Structure 1
Amino acid sequence: MTYRQQVDAAVQSNTVRSILLVASFPFVVPGLVFLVTFGVGILSSRPNPLALSIQAALIALAIMLVVMIIWLPIGYLIHQWVIDRATGARLLRRNELPRVWAIFERLCTSAGMRLPALRVIETETLNAFASGLREGAYSVTLTTGLIDVLDDDELETVMGHELAHIQNHDVRLVVIATVLVGTVPMLHDLLMKAFWAVIMSVLNIYRAIFSLLPMPGAKLLVQVTYTAVFWAGKAVAYAVGFVATVASLVVHFALSREREFMADAGAVALTNKPQALINALRKISGLSTLELSIDGLRAMLFDSRGVSFAGLFATHPPIDSRIAAIERLMVAAPAGSFETFTRASPTTGPLSAESSPAAQPTSDHRREPLFRTERPDPAPVHGLGFAGSMQPDPASVARFVAILYTAKPGQLTWSERQQLYRRAHSSIEQGKTANPPVSPSKLAALKLNLDEAIRQIEASLHDRDG
């Protein structure tokens, strides 16, 4: 399966999971109520425990449906506010951190995306996340520690990772799972804090009154009452916590850890800087623990080392596994074939002749060529196909297909696709003037693989259109 096919499958899977998560979640608590009630009925030898359990489950289902009906539209409108309050994030103004804005704007232009909002968290922790449910409301949040520690290339790859989450609709699934559907864990945290605040206040007043009364046994009565209320509160906390834990597990199982590998691959394809992403992951490793008032939001983070049992309930793969996946990607793809082309998008419109490289004035922020030329290769790059017979390399062709598909060629007209292909060829031609220049054999191999990718795309579009 090619990278583009994996992305399309991930988008479709995330959409289906979002729908199923919202539709099935109201039945989780009633199911638990049914099992607990049925078990208690059997142990206590109550008559007809099945009917009693069904009745209790139906009541719980009605309550959950009412809660979901009320909370879903509210959560949809205030989800970003909830996330900001839970993480301590604030909106970054355009006159703040111009270095970050410059990198972010160039990256969004390269991706053909509408510019999301930028937010920051004032902390030395190194982390980032994307949030939002719809176009025009997406946001990328960075910690100030991340901004200070990473260099420009590393910061670009981290932001590219978060943009890939937006493109793959991962962010939508995570927000639905943690904010909209994760009402039980959220309510558990809030209710337990409120519950203990009330209990402790009442007990303090109770203890003060009875300690001052000149009656025999007052001190003992206070201690007994305090202990009884304390353990009753503990029992309630454990019961609600059990339901919250089960709800959290449902959310965790809905979130595939593969989404992080896909976002890393998307960042590499967008920035053409796999080594920078590896360096960023190494710097972030061990320094990513972010204080959150809602624990379920850890699934949104760039890296999270939450509590898990042998990785079973982890929402993120280990850093070492992500680095190894990127290194395998570097071996499988030819040098420089990660670089993306300026592409059309529904928000920015198709490519035009005025926006082609030849029509653009040179600037300090001009796009890099398709390949990396910081250092010459001592030997031919594996898989380019120029040693002996000139045959397209399947891995290289697959990478070019994935890169071109980010421009959504199926939504472009024939002439718009030709402009896209010309820009791709123009990007390769820039290698002639690179320092050091790319060898003619390598250029020929890149062109051959690009032409084969274009042929496959056009063939698939022709088959689709009949």
Structure 2
Amino acid sequence: MAAYGLYTHIAANKTRSILLLGGLFVLVYVMVYAGALIAEVLTYGAGAPADYYLTAAAHDLIKAFPFATGGALLWIAIAYFFHQKIVDAVTGGEDVTRQQQPRLYNLLENLCISRGIPMPKLKIVESDALNAYATGLNQRQYAVTVTTGLLNALNDQEVEAVLGHELTHIRNGDVQMMVIAVIIAGVVGFFAELFFRSFTNFGYYGGYGRGSWSSSSSEQSSSSDNKRSSAGGAIIVIIIAVALIALAWALSQLVRLALSRSREYLADAGSVELTKNPDAMISALRKIENRGELPGATSAVMELCLDNPRQGFSDLFATHPSVDARVQALVKFAGGRDPGPLALPSAPTEGPDDQTRAVDGQTPPPLPKGPWNDATDPAGAGPSGPSAGPWDSATRPSSGPSAGPLTGPWGRH
């Protein structure tokens, strides 16, 4: 279902959610059938023709059908009730209150009150990365998580724009879609690993084949030609099983491609609609660009984030549009101004008199993090006063005083 506007996008998300959940069960059944094929061959060797293995595996699938369905439903139930705890365990997210984060809490609350949006939970990840994401499958579960690096690097207007982006994801149903995609990838990946191990271990679903083939084994041993034909049939069945497992796994990973990249454009536009400040959204994107990598986070978690620096081959499998494309859309349709990409801080060079030079064979001390590192300047200031780094406000001059030192992905600046 194509989405040409906000309301059709929301409707398309609901339709895709139902289709993806139905697709989850289909992929699980494919995995079980492939596992049954492998188990039949491992149990009885290469003594049967290919059609026997295919028929026996089909009977095994029928017997295993309720167990496979129950396993998929159990996985969905676990993900439904505990996906937030799983994400928090991966990223280190923790709930915060107004007393702990009054600035962030007030910005989010004001946005919600101004538009009549229910207040989601608020979480913080202790990380120098600049990123944020939303999670949840229903109103009671919705949560917005931001990193401490983002709070330190962005001003109030930019943080508000980021919060508006995540609230729009919740309103548009994008969050549910992403969580369901994670569920599908997880359960199919689990079955894929389980059945690939059956190459070295006899499977559970071999009982039916044992009775059926043993009754006709004498007929299959009547000639060497039949034996060779049977061996060839077993090889064909193994190839089919491996191909099915690989296909199911690949489809589970590519399911994210069903999640239109337009969701990010619409979330950016929704943020502008909430804040009435396209420049703040553009400035936030430029600061976050290439600085959002969450250490230890899985690819599934990164796909939930405001910006995902882990792009696919030639952006073919990228889950987000490029920051340039998103900024250009905001400039064209929202009238924003683009300050241009913000350069990453360069590492200090080593000169002949550098303090890191080895002396008398001794191990040199480590390089400072930057020209105004805490070790060399406890006040956190350069020769002309404190500096907020290259990702401070888009309108701030490149030199001169600022509000104070910020903590970014490369330490204090």
Measured against the shorter chain, the TM-score band is: 0.5 to 0.7
Match of 1:174 among 178, 181, 199: 178
Summarize the alignment of residues 210-359 of structure 1 with structure 2, pairs less than 5 Å apart. 242=246, 245-246=249-250, 248-331=252-335
Q: Does 1:26 align with 2:25?
A: yes
Q: d(CA) in 1 for partners of 2:249 and 2:185?
A: 11
Check conservation: 1:30, 1:60, Cα contact below 8 A: no
Q: If each structure's helix is expressed as a fraction of its own residues, which one has the higher value?
A: 1
CA 1:295–1:186 in 2, change beyond 3 Å: closer, same or farther?
farther
The corresponding residue for 1:13 is: 12
Q: Does 1:151 align with 2:161?
A: no
Q: Deviations over 1:48-74 (max 9, x none)?
A: 444245345546654431212222223
Backbone CA RMSD of aligned residues? 3.4
CA 1:78–1:308 in 2, change beyond 3 Å: closer, same or farther?
same
Check conservation: 1:89, 1:122, Cα contact below 8 A: yes
Question: C-alpha displacement at 1:246, in angstroms?
Answer: 2.1
Gaps in structure 2 of 5+ consecutive residues: 196-241, 337-394, 396-413
Could you tell me the percent identity over the aligned residues?
A: 35
Q: d(CA) in 1 for partners of 2:139 and 2:188?
A: 27
The corresponding residue for 1:78 is: 82
What is the identity, as a one-letter code, of the residue corresponding to 1:249? Q
Question: C-alpha displacement at 1:33, in angstroms?
Answer: 5.5
Higher mean alpha-carbon deviation, 322-331 vs 152-161, is at 322-331
Check conservation: 1:186, 1:294, Cα contact below 8 A: no
Q: d(CA) in 1 for partners of 2:69 and 2:141?
A: 27
Q: d(CA) in 2 for partners of 1:239 and 1:124?
A: 42
Q: d(CA) in 1 for partners of 2:114 and 2:101?
A: 20
Check conservation: 2:126, 2:147, Cα contact below 8 A: yes
CA 1:38–1:131 in 2, change beyond 3 Å: closer, same or farther?
same
Q: Deviations over 1:376-416 (max 9, x none)?
A: xxxxxxxxxxxxxxxxxxxxxxxxxxxxxxxxxxxxxxxxx
Question: C-alpha displacement at 1:183, in angstroms?
Answer: 3.0
Query: Which of structures 1 and 2 has the larger relative contact order (alpha carbons within 8 angstroms, sep 6+)?
Result: 2
Q: d(CA) in 2 for partners of 1:275 and 1:125?
A: 22
CA 1:145–1:30 in 2, change beyond 3 Å: closer, same or farther?
same
Paired residue secondary structure (1:113):
coil
Summarize the alignment of residues 106-117 of structure 1 with structure 2, pairs less than 5 Å apart. 106-117=110-121
Check conservation: 2:93, 2:145, Cα contact below 8 A: yes
CA 1:265–1:92 in 2, change beyond 3 Å: closer, same or farther?
same
Q: How many residues align?
A: 284
Q: d(CA) in 2 for partners of 1:146 and 1:185?
A: 34
Check conservation: 1:30, 1:57, Cα contact below 8 A: yes
Q: Deviations over 1:21-63 (max 9, x none)?
A: 1122111143356568779989x95344442453455466544
The corresponding residue for 1:141 is: 145
Question: C-alpha displacement at 1:258, in angstroms?
Answer: 1.1
Question: C-alpha displacement at 1:182, in angstroms?
Answer: 3.5
Question: C-alpha displacement at 1:296, in angstroms?
Answer: 1.6
Paired residue secondary structure (1:140):
strand
Q: d(CA) in 2 for partners of 1:186 and 1:293?
A: 17
Paired residue secondary structure (2:301):
helix
CA 1:315–1:7 in 2, change beyond 3 Å: closer, same or farther?
same
Match of 1:122 among 117, 126, 138: 126
Gaps in structure 1 of 5+ consecutive residues: 193-237, 333-373, 375-466
Question: C-alpha displacement at 1:84, in angstroms?
Answer: 1.0
Q: d(CA) in 1 for partners of 2:194 and 2:98?
A: 38
Q: Does 1:183 align with 2:186?
A: yes
Q: Deviations over 1:350-396 (max 9, x none)?
A: xxxxxxxxxxxxxxxxxxxxxxxx9xxxxxxxxxxxxxxxxxxxxxx
Q: Does 1:90 align with 2:99?
A: no
The corresponding residue for 1:227 is: none
Question: C-alpha displacement at 1:111, in angstroms?
Answer: 2.1
Paired residue secondary structure (1:129):
strand
Paired residue secondary structure (2:313):
coil
Q: Deviations over 1:309-333 (max 9, x none)?
A: 332322111111111111111249x
Q: d(CA) in 1 for partners of 2:123 and 2:131?
A: 12
Q: d(CA) in 1 for partners of 2:129 and 2:248?
A: 27
The corresponding residue for 2:209 is: none
TM (norm. structure 1) is 0.54
Question: C-alpha displacement at 1:307, in angstroms?
Answer: 4.5
TM (norm. structure 2) is 0.61
The corresponding residue for 1:410 is: none
Question: C-alpha displacement at 1:6, in angstroms?
Answer: 1.2
The corresponding residue for 2:360 is: none
Check conservation: 2:98, 2:106, Cα contact below 8 A: no
